Structure 1
């Protein structure tokens, strides 16, 4: 059984290490390096922020939301980030984290979650679909990759969205 709990500042080294592992794949983000904790923390909503733990209490993954805009009208919209440690991938942990993030976002009053996923990352696209996200379209050649196996190539990003069925939209 996977144990989840809220992310705390003491998780920073593990969270940033897992983020760096994801970055190294070249299929997770345009970012080329994990930020320091201060910048990571400033770029995420206060809640929900989750970590998954192994049987010994070690962090195996994390999930958090970033604001999509500073404008108040977008206060109920968050952009999803889910990262799983290399050693824990392929076991369904990402889906567990994402579903818990969805549930936590609704408890916080968010009505829309967004995700931008590299088109080649079919496992992540499938995971988001399993958690109620729909494909909105593809942003072709959104950015030029600066690192990893696709360095120098323009990347297509699949835009996905999940509208809450719990938090009402009038």
Structure 2
């Protein structure tokens, strides 16, 4: 059964923290070494959603959060305001079932509707599963940084993938419309 997608809520933080903790401890997608606690994950969640960026969860038929995704600023300098970076993490229970693709497709739709023009994926550990999910959603490979992280006793590469949102770079953005609230005012 396909998981349902919805906006993440503060009540989801324990599940989100657990999913991320497993990724930090056992995977290479995140270059963090020690998993942040729930208080820190709450701060991160509030910082992202407080700036108007989308943050969504996938919930299975049992009501369990089996994945989450969010967009955030790639960089904070104003010229980057039309570009977002995506992040996706899937629980063991949700892997191999299309959950990542479902979350990413929704994230692309939401960011396009918000007026963003580009989305970039920064894929730690050059994860083949993450590369495959991004490719299936229309992202293209734009670069590799070799040996950028050292985790689990190995050097890790970082892959950059990108997709244009809306008109991408084929037209000027509306100068009155700033996506999110990070650069408003």
TM-score (norm 2): 0.81
Label 1:9 to 1:72 Cα distance change in 2 as closer, same or farther (>3 A): same
Q: Which runs of 5+ in 2 are unaligned?
A: 173-185
Report Cα offsets for 1:59-78 as digits up to 9, x if no partner: 11100012111212211211
Aligned residues: 165
Q: Does the CA-based 8 Å contact 2:115-2:166 persist in structure 1?
A: no
Structure 1: unaligned runs, 5 residues or longer? 146-150
In structure 2, distance between residues paired with 1:92 and 1:153: 29
The residue number in structure 1 matching 2:163 is: 162
Secondary structure class of the residue paired with 2:31: coil
Q: Distance in 1 between matches of 2:139 and 2:78?
A: 23
Distance 2:171 2:148 in 1: 30
Q: Which residue of 2 aligns with 1:83?
A: 89
Answer whether contact 1:111 1:169 (CA < 8 A) is retained.
no
* Cα deviations by residue, 1:23-77 (Å, 9 ceiling, x for unpaired): 2222211012333224322553533110011113221110001211121221121
The whole-number CA distance in structure 2 between the counterparts of 1:136 and 1:43 is 28
The CA deviation at 1:155 is 1.3
1:41 maps onto 2:45 in alignment: yes
Of residues 33, 56, 65 in structure 2, which corresponds to 1:59? 65
Structure 1 residue aligned with 2:129: 123
TM-score (norm 1): 0.88
Q: Secondary structure at the match of 2:121?
A: strand
Secondary structure, counterpart of 1:91 in structure 2: coil
Cα distance in 2 between the residues matched to 1:160 and 1:120: 11
RMSD: 1.8
> Aligned runs of 1:76-155 on 2, under 5 Å?
76-118=82-124, 120-145=126-151, 151-155=152-156
